[in-house]
Structure 1
Amino acid sequence: MMNDTNGSVPVPVYTGPMSRYKDDIVRHTCELIRIRSVKEPELPGKPFGEGNWRALDYMLKLAESMGFAVSHTDGYAGHAEYGAGEEIAAVLVHLDTVHEGDGWNYDPFGGTVADGRIYGRGAADDKGPAVVALYALKALKDSGYVPRKRVRVIFGTNEESGMKDLDYYFAKEPLPSLAFAPDAGYPIYNVELGNMLVAFRWMRTEVDLAAGSRVAVLSFSGGIPIALIPKESGIVLGAEDEEGRKELGRIREAVSGMPNITAAWDGEGGDRLRIQSGSQPVQEAETGTANAVVNLMAAMRTANCRTNMDGLLRFLQERIGLESNGASLGISCEDDVSGKLVVYVKQVTTEEDRIVTVVSIRYPVTHSGERVIETVTELAGSYGLETDVIRHLHPVYVNPDHEVIRRLSRAYERVTGEKAELLRMGAGTYARKLRNNGVAFGAGLRGGVNNNIHAADEFVVIEDLMRHADICYQGLYEIAQE
């Protein structure tokens, strides 16, 4: 027996540990990982591809086997539901993952159990927590407690690449009044900075001798979509005459010996030079030298390298460089709620006729994302760059006095005995789609291990997952009450 939150009428709820479901949670997490759910081209009834649809179908069939009412929203999302009433409480999880990438020691879609861990893409983000959420709902049902509201586990399939799944879902289904997304860490994240990806496109031109340029950029690359910041970057420079070849030799000599920079001839003849950059041993995006693209740009600037894409290089060097606060872009700002704006180069790619640089901008909740876009677009245009906003997730701020925070704080403190502090982050979760009625709550434990999320050998420690299960269940119980 456990008293309700007002300490009045005893409410029968499941009070045993979630460990009774441990074997099933591990088994279904492994099976879900074995479904490769990376976004692919749309198919009829499968808007994000076959794998994402299969993952959704798997979880809805599992929920149905547990006796829950389920709903499949045209392949975009779905839910399992327990209880009855007008009001809705929900846990939101996603079944899609980022691309697996390279460098794995374990099969990224093997769902391998080893040394007390589950390895595979999505183990921590967010397939393990998704399975836990469903079993938390089952635990509520198995306790015999019937909430007088509809309690849902909502399964999305497009969190990693735009959250269009929930835009579609909530166009057809009502928003929950209380909800949480176990897609971050503990205790509670009530602030998510505005998050945008902006592409700056430079149309490649011929070498302009009059402007002092004697070498051409043949290719420029750095970063991969799943990485936070580029760990490697490379540029290939070419020359067509003797003066250009001399300039390549001068550049090669100038950059040699610079930290994490290598320069070597690409083929014979001395008319192609490849410069490679690694990142400094720093993992925070706020530190410019952690970014291999920035490190490469700094080396080229030091070498006084002039090329046919001088506008793009000057823009990156002069307006971003080693800064992380956007000051030289004219967008630096901060507030007491969410801290400082953060900007960093995320990826550079070479297309047939252009070079595209993608920049991440995370801005405070009290500032205008539209104003940020307007400012950087105008500035980039002065360097000859085209600007395109690839993604824009508006910020989240849930007042500390909100009912969802009070209830989840109570759940966290009851299970852990620790104070539920409120935190902020620059990344995005489904809380952004809840119109300030929900927060990120779990699943990473405070002081826990690095789960290699979005990296090779992603894993979740089984005991940590089960500790999260206890907190998730208690959180679900709290928001399920009237």
Structure 2
Amino acid sequence: MDSKITAQVEAYVDEVWEDVVADIAALVAHPSVADASQGAPGAPFGAPVRGALDCALGIAEKLGYEVGDDEGYVGIADIPGAEDRQVATIAHVDVVPAGPGWNTDPFTCTRREGWLLGRGVIDDKGPAVLSLYAGAFLKQLGTVPRYTFRALIGCDEEVGMTDIHHYLSGHDDPDFLFTPDAEFPVGNAEKGQYGATFTSAPVTDGVILSWSGAEATNAIPAESVCELAVDASACPAPAANADRLAIEAVALGRTRITARGIGGHASLPEGTVNAIALIVDYLRGADLVSASERPFLELMSRIHEDTAGASMGIASSNEAFGPLTVIGGTVEVSDGRIRQTIDVRYPDSTTDGRIAESCRALAAEFGATCTTDHAKEPFSVSADHPAVQTLLDVYREVTGRPAEPFSMGGGTYARNFARAVSFGPEDNDLELPAWGGSMHGPNECASEAQLKEAFKIYILAILRLMEVDL
């Protein structure tokens, strides 16, 4: 690695870091949960997302990019090169709902002991700002880069990625793209995704009045609240997980059960505790529900029994992608039925068709139904691609750590492009502070040291990609 360039990069990182943090805070301030039902021309995912997009484009313009947008679906920021061919990044400014359990305002970026807290600091507003500042280093060199560098800003990654589908319907694929929306070193393969909703038979004599879980189907709920038409005096003390369950009288003949688990992203269930499952276990043991509710409660127990899908009959694994994972995300009681969603991440050793068939059969055992909400096939890019090898080399040189490409359960924008990978900045081995949380959970936090290292990696990666024959 050229020592002069490295020194320039390190000086740049230090020089602009306070500006980077300020711009992350400005983006976090927008409660940009994508909601197409609130869409309008130029703001297809609602005004808060449009506000975040304008904020990001304002940062890009300040840094010297040529900016525009694709009808509000995707922001476009370019540094023109000698060739029209593109090296690109894509990050997103939409976020999952804040959800319960925060100790700070989720839409105010709080700086504490070398960490940033706020919804989106690691997924994906922080990385979005890093990518803009990383590309802007090309302007510092005072030369025209070989390829055009394009920073794309997405607005609908957490909900359906319809933003990038719209973009690609009218724009060519970049020659190579990475998304700073996963773990280091390089994610060159992503599991397939399958989402479905289990719905109970009509409940005629139910005691479950309401039930909440995660606010998004791709999140593991940290809190679940269930209200019953049962007097609190009839509710026994929890036989298990007593420290995670609270039972309180709401009124005569009405009781609220609150479960507190450990939330997280659906693709990373290890180490989490699903709050819905805590209530399922309690209700089954306490024998409080009605005869018409009992079958669906038993079905929910099967869904929540493990995160490998063994109890549901959908488990699958292979060396290239690893094991299937499944979680129950949202739950609700409405129109006389109970509904539980699932989020499945699966290897290419199975198919969404097989998973759907097994889920329908499982539902039928309990007099319920299962409908598919979405399905995406597994995706991969060759680890031997010269751009992939370039990213790995830069990561090794900056960190001194070994690096091999990996597959993951998370779904990123990369799967929508012909030549794309995910490239940090997360580190799943990083120990979070006691008051901090992971992405999609309460108290989402990011280490400033981690972000700074990623920032340096991104700058050097973009410089190196300009030298690769794509």
Moved more, 379-388 or 413-422: 379-388
Moved more, 53-62 or 373-382: 373-382
* Post-superposition offset of 1:76: 0.3
Give the 5 Å matches for 1:168-317.
168-207=166-205, 216-225=207-216, 228-238=219-229, 252-253=235-236, 256-260=238-242, 261=245, 267-268=251-252, 271-272=253-254, 274-279=256-261, 285-286=269-270, 290-303=273-286, 306-317=290-301
Q: Decide which of 40, 54, 72 is 2:69's aligned counterpart.
A: 72
TM-score (norm 1): 0.84
CA distance in 2, matches of 1:190, 1:91: 15
CA distance in 2, matches of 1:459, 1:389: 33
Q: 1:124 to 1:307 in 2, by over 3 A?
A: same
Is 1:462 the counterpart of 2:443? The answer is: no
Is 1:397 the counterpart of 2:380? The answer is: yes
CA distance in 1, matches of 2:443, 2:259: 24
CA distance in 2, matches of 1:256, 1:101: 25
Q: Give the corresponding residue for 2:344.
A: 361
CA distance in 1, matches of 2:271, 2:60: 44
Q: Decide which of 16, 20, 26 is 1:25's aligned counterpart.
A: 20
* Post-superposition offset of 1:273: 5.2
Q: Give the corresponding residue for 1:242.
A: none
Moved more, 194-203 or 221-230: 221-230
Q: 1:94 to 1:449 in 2, by over 3 A?
A: farther
Is the CA contact 1:2–1:15 (under 8 Å) kept in the aligned structure 2? no
Moved more, 276-285 or 185-194: 276-285
* Post-superposition offset of 1:184: 1.5
Q: What amino acid maps onto 2:135 in structure 1?
A: L
Q: 1:233 to 1:16 in 2, by over 3 A?
A: closer
Give unmatched runs, 5+ long, in structure 1: 4-9, 208-214, 240-244
CA distance in 1, matches of 2:103, 2:275: 24
Moved more, 57-66 or 298-307: 298-307
Give unmatched runs, 5+ long, in structure 2: none
Q: 1:287 to 1:299 in 2, by over 3 A?
A: farther
Q: 1:455 to 1:179 in 2, by over 3 A?
A: same
1:394-423 CA distances to partner (integer Å, 9 max, x unpaired)? 322222212232010111122222222323
Q: Give the corresponding residue for 1:58.
A: 55
Q: What amino acid maps onto 1:183 in structure 2?
A: D
The size of the alignment, in residue pairs, is 455
* Post-superposition offset of 1:382: 4.4
Is the CA contact 1:216–1:237 (under 8 Å) kept in the aligned structure 2? yes
Moved more, 406-415 or 352-361: 352-361
Q: Decide which of 364, 380, 384 is 2:363's aligned counterpart.
A: 380
1:131-186 CA distances to partner (integer Å, 9 max, x unpaired)? 11111111122113423322211110111111111111111111122211111221
Q: What amino acid maps onto 1:229 in structure 2?
A: I
CA distance in 2, matches of 1:286, 1:29: 29
CA distance in 2, matches of 1:146, 1:417: 30
After the TM superposition, list the runs of 4 or more consecutive aligned residues in structure 1 that deviate by more than 6 angstroms. 10-13, 280-284
Q: Give the corresponding residue for 2:420.
A: 438
Moved more, 444-453 or 140-149: 444-453
Q: Give the corresponding residue for 1:108.
A: 106
Moved more, 400-409 or 109-118: 109-118
* Post-superposition offset of 1:70: 2.2
CA distance in 2, matches of 1:281, 1:72: 34
CA distance in 1, matches of 2:248, 2:274: 21
1:217-269 CA distances to partner (integer Å, 9 max, x unpaired)? 33333333288323343444447xxxxx9xx98x734x64333355566533x
Alpha-carbon RMSD across the aligned residues, in angstroms, is 3.1
Is the CA contact 1:12–1:144 (under 8 Å) kept in the aligned structure 2? no
Q: Give the corresponding residue for 2:133.
A: 135
1:279-325 CA distances to partner (integer Å, 9 max, x unpaired)? 4899973579x2232233233334555532233123223x3242222
CA distance in 2, matches of 1:311, 1:478: 58
Name which one, 1 or 2, has greater alpha-carbon Rg.
Answer: 1
Q: 1:111 to 1:314 in 2, by over 3 A?
A: closer
Q: Give the corresponding residue for 2:123.
A: 125
CA distance in 2, matches of 1:478, 1:161: 33
Is the CA contact 2:124–2:181 (under 8 Å) kept in the aligned structure 1? yes
